[in-house]
Amino acid sequence: METVIKSALSEVIIGNEMPFVVIGEKINPTGRKKLAAEIKDRNYEYILGIAQKQIDAGADILDINVGVPGIDEITVLPELAKLISESFDVPICLDSANHNALAAALAVLPGKPLVNSVNGEEASLDAVLPVVKDFGVAVIGLTMDDNGISNNFETRLAIAEKILTRAVQIGIPENDVVIDPLVLTVGADSNAGFVTLKTIELVSKKFGVNINLGASNVSFGLPDRHIINQAFLSLAIGFGATCAITDPVNLTGIIRATDLLVGRDSNAMRYIKNYRLRKKV
């Protein structure tokens, strides 16, 4: 199944026969003071630099999150998203739980952005899915609901099914819903990786939809985090994940190597191209 995400002039296809899609995670102020200050000041020079660096490193799509306490997301998210879409020909992933901010940004963006995210909570489904439907875009569906994040993969599978069903009911095509099976840190629960991988496998086999991964939480609190993140990306791709919101500077190497090893990189061309990019960055 293919999910097409578009900028003004180009498109990215997420799909299980395609190279793994990298959604750059770095435009997100969580834990980053300088970025938070710049968003608050609506002064975006530094952020344009982060965008450029991620594109140079091989990001296919850029995630944009402006979640700084006290700012007006309904003004700032469209403003920054529009600026980035005018500065770079790269598709955008709008990262917000506020459906009004999402709608305001979608109204000013060209192409077909990806919305990050809806989840299985009734309030989220009711607020976000109509916006996605109205703008004809695609959406990431997180496998959590009013009971929180389950550590049972059958429960996460059921939430994925609920999100898919509700999306299709209001007229969003199934291939425009990308399921995110969520991952907690293995440092707190050593079964957390397994539950996520099993959810990926089950959702992939049962629905054939695209699967996204927020791939950096898994290693939180443990030493040598990059090794755990690398292993997790390879495993997740092996089990059926097709895109990730992750660090393009440090992790595209392992992603391109994994694509090559699962037979999705003819003549190792993307692997070698990415190797050259990484050496330049």
3-state secondary structure of 94: strand
Closest approach, Cβ 101 to its own copies, in A, equals 34
- Is the CB of 98 or the CB of 250 nearer to its own copies? 250
Say what the alpha-carbon torsion angle 14, 20, 26, 31 is, to the nearest 10 degrees.
Answer: 100
Helix extents (H) in the chain: 33-41, 45-56, 73-87, 99-108, 122-135, 153-169, 192-207, 225-239, 248-261, 269-280
**Which CB sits closer to its own copies, 130 or 238?**
238
Closest CA to 218 of 195, 238, 242, 240: 195
Q: Does 22 engage in binding with its own copies (CB under 8 A)?
A: no
CB of 220 to its own copies, least distance (A): 12
Q: How many helices (H) and strands (E) does the chain have?
A: 10, 10
What is the closest distance, in whole angstroms, from the C-beta atom of residue 238 to its own copies in the complex? 4
Q: Which is nearer to its own copies, 97 or 195 (CB)?
A: 195
Instruction: Give me 50's structure tokens.
Output: 């982060």
- 126/179 Cα distance (integer angstroms): 17
CB of residue 17 to its own copies, shortest distance in Å: 12
**x-or-dash pattern for its own copies, window 146-185, by CB under 8 A?**
----------------------------------------
- Tell me the per-residue interface mask from 205 to 224 with its own copies, x by CB under 8 A, - otherwise: -------------x---xxx
Give the amino acid at 182.
Answer: L
Contact 203, 227 (CB under 8 A): no
Q: Which of 186, 209, 245, 277 binds its own copies (CB under 8 A)?
A: 186
Least separation in angstroms between CB 82 and its own copies: 36
Inter-CA distances, 147 with 14, 120, 121, 144, 160, Å: 30, 9, 8, 7, 14
Measure the CA–CA gap between 258 and 243, rounded to whole angstroms: 12
Q: Per-residue x/- mask for its own copies, residues 225 to 264, rule CB under 8 A?
A: --xx-xxx-xx-xxx-------------xx--xx-xxxx-
**Whether 203 contacts 157, CB under 8 Å:** yes
* Footprint of its own copies on 86-125 (CB under 8 A): none
Instruction: Select the residue interacting with its own copies from 154, 272, 273, 281 (CB under 8 A).
Output: 272
- Give residues in contact with its own copies (CB under 8 A): 186-187, 190-191, 193-195, 197, 218, 222-224, 227-228, 230-232, 234-235, 237-239, 253-254, 257-258, 260-263, 265-268, 271-272, 275
